[in-house]
């Protein structure tokens, strides 16, 4: 039996962890308090309970939430997690779970492949459930808009699983950039060691028998049905497939671009171009490597900015590499010699730069290092989470405490913020469909390209019957 919480015990743990200092997070939508009394305890239904979903479920439980229901399309995964939460009811279709458990749960976690995020989360929010959803928030741009609008309409607490948002280092880096310490920022460069799954390949021929333990229909969900093929999609390799995942960009950019996006208000690009783009392979998988350039206009007094993305081993130009700490330049030299790929985020300003080699933006270095040796940090403007643990657990604390109405700043990566971040990022995948060097002019307000109307069909998708959002 998982432990439940009371208002008194929760306040005691909060006080022991420490109090929030100065600063207040003003998100893109109001933070919304719990609609159920904390005295009654909270219960959750968890959708997708293997891999990252397994830790999401356990971390929610660690915050005193009763795990009342578990859902996973894979019976083996479901039964394994069920041994940890013996009193939880088990389901292999989230629609059935929400129908049967809707009056028994307050929170829903969604830790499934990208293509089912919106189908599960929107349904839960319309039932007035507070939702924690893994990144990227959605599979499509239109779904990201729908998710943030639905959260606001329904008045629920939300959080996307980009746990770096909860790290003190990321929040501090945002404050440093916004203080003007590195001057006006006109370019941001982020590179990733992803993909670490197959991309740049076509659909496998033939089909294999569906294992008795797997609900293949529920795994496919909103996407077009296709034959089951052992190891091709379930349980890990789905990220590279266009119908199910969002490629390297969708997987990691909600982490690695989070800090500069927040600091520089990099919402609503006016254009995106794939500067290196082998293209989608047979319309099935994302390319094995790519480079993208997003263009942002002046925003709230900030100068126009270009954001460059590199994946699959692609790197920024040498003059930018030369700016990095010597120890990291040595890592890049090893990468170029065939060694392990690196990841990094470089924010270039008129007075200096900030570099983070942490995928979650949890640590940073100001460059040139000698110029900032005596730098004094600016006054704190963003809250710090008063719970000492790993970033993943801190983010779950932030979410559950906000649901209970006990944490006034609220969730930082709420769907108001996370929806805009995801919208911005996923515009890049349109460029991978357009072709190398083709500039897509983007009307962010209306979610459409103004110069390539043929690309607009990929802003949303046609849902398979029974799985509509």
Looking at the fold, whether 19 and 156 belong to one and the same domain comes out as yes
pLDDT at 29: 36
Give 92-102 pLDDT, tens digit per residue. 999 999 999 99
Looking at the fold, whether 336 and 433 belong to one and the same domain comes out as yes
Give 409-421 pLDDT, tens digit per residue. 999 999 999 999 9
Looking at the fold, whether 389 and 323 belong to one and the same domain comes out as no
Looking at the fold, whether 410 and 423 belong to one and the same domain comes out as no
Looking at the fold, whether 390 and 293 belong to one and the same domain comes out as no
Check which CATH number belongs to the domain holding 411 and give it: 3.40.50.720
Question: Within a domain: residue 435?
Answer: yes
pLDDT at 33: 40
pLDDT at 326: 97
Question: Within a domain: residue 300?
Answer: yes
Looking at the fold, whether 451 and 304 belong to one and the same domain comes out as yes
Looking at the fold, whether 272 and 352 belong to one and the same domain comes out as yes
pLDDT at 27: 44
Question: Within a domain: residue 80?
Answer: yes
pTM of the predicted structure, to 2 decimals: 0.92
Looking at the fold, whether 23 and 77 belong to one and the same domain comes out as yes
Please check whether residue 127 is in contact with residue 97, taking contact to mean a CB–CB distance below 8 angstroms: no
- Listed as ranges, residues in the chain with pLDDT below 50 are 1-39
Looking at the fold, whether 151 and 193 belong to one and the same domain comes out as no
Looking at the fold, whether 358 and 245 belong to one and the same domain comes out as yes
Question: Within a domain: residue 466?
Answer: no
pLDDT at 184: 98
Task: Provide the domain count of the chain.
Answer: 2
Question: Within a domain: residue 215?
Answer: no
Looking at the fold, whether 123 and 11 belong to one and the same domain comes out as yes
pLDDT at 11: 30
pLDDT at 6: 39
Question: Within a domain: residue 38?
Answer: yes
Check which CATH number belongs to the domain holding 343 and give it: 3.30.360.10
Looking at the fold, whether 309 and 399 belong to one and the same domain comes out as no
Question: Within a domain: residue 64?
Answer: yes
Question: Within a domain: residue 269?
Answer: yes
Residue 425 structural domain: 168-199+234-376+419-458
pLDDT at 40: 62
Angle at 146 between CA 43 and CA 248, to 5 degrees: 90
């Amino acid at each position: 039996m998982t432990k439940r919480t009371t208002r008194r015990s929760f306040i005691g743990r909060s006080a022991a962890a420490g109090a929030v200092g100065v600063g207040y997070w003003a998100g893109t939508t109001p933070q919304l308090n719990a609609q159920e009394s904390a005295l009654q305890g909270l219960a959750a239904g968890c959708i997708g309970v293997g891999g990252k979903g397994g830790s999401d479920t356990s971390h929610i439980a660690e915050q005193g939430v009763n795990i009342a229901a578990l859902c996973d399309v894979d019976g083996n995964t479901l039964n394994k997690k069920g041994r940890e939460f013996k009193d939880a009811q088990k389901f292999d279709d989230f629609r059935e779970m929400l129908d049967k458990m809707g009056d028994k749960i307050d929170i829903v976690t969604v830790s499934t492949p990208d293509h089912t995020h919106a189908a599960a989360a929107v349904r839960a929010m319309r039932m007035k459930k507070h939702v924690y959803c893994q990144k990227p928030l959605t599979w499509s741009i239109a779904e990201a808009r729908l998710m943030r609008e639905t959260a606001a309409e329904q008045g629920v607490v939300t959080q996307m699983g980009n746990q770096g948002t909860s790290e003190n280092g990321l929040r501090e880096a945002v404050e440093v950039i916004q203080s003007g310490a590195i001057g006006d920022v006109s370019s941001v460069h982020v590179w990733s060691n992803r993909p670490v799954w197959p991309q740049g390949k076509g659909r496998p021929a033939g089909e294999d028998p569906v294992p008795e333990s797997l609900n293949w229909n529920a795994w496919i969900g909103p996407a077009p049905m296709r034959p089951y093929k052992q190891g091709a999609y379930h349980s890990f390799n789905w990220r590279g497939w266009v119908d199910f995942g969002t490629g390297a960009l969708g997987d990691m950019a909600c982490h690695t671009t989070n800090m500069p996006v927040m600091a520089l208000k990099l919402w609503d690009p006016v254009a995106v171009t794939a500067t290196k783009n082998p293209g989608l392979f047979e319309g099935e998988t994302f390319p094995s490597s790519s480079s993208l350039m997003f263009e942002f206009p002046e925003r709230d007094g900030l100068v126009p900015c270009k954001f460059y993305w590199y994946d699959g081993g692609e790197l920024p130009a040498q003059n930018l590499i030369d700016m990095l700490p010597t120890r990291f330049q040595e890592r890049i030299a090893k990468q170029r010699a065939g060694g392990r790929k690196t990841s990094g985020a470089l924010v270039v300003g008129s007075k200096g730069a900030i570099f983070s080699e942490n995928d979650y933006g949890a640590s940073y270095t100001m460059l040139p290092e000698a110029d900032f040796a005596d730098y004094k940090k600016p006054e704190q403007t963003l809250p710090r989470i008063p719970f000492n643990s790993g970033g993943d657990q801190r983010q779950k604390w932030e979410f559950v405490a906000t649901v209970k109405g006990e944490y006034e700043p609220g969730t930082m990566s709420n769907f108001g913020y996370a929806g805009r971040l995801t919208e911005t990022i996923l515009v890049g995948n349109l460029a991978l469909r357009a072709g190398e060097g083709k500039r897509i002019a983007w009307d962010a307000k209306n979610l459409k390209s103004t110069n390539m109307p043929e690309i607009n069909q990929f802003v949303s998708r046609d849902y398979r019957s029974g799985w509509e959002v």
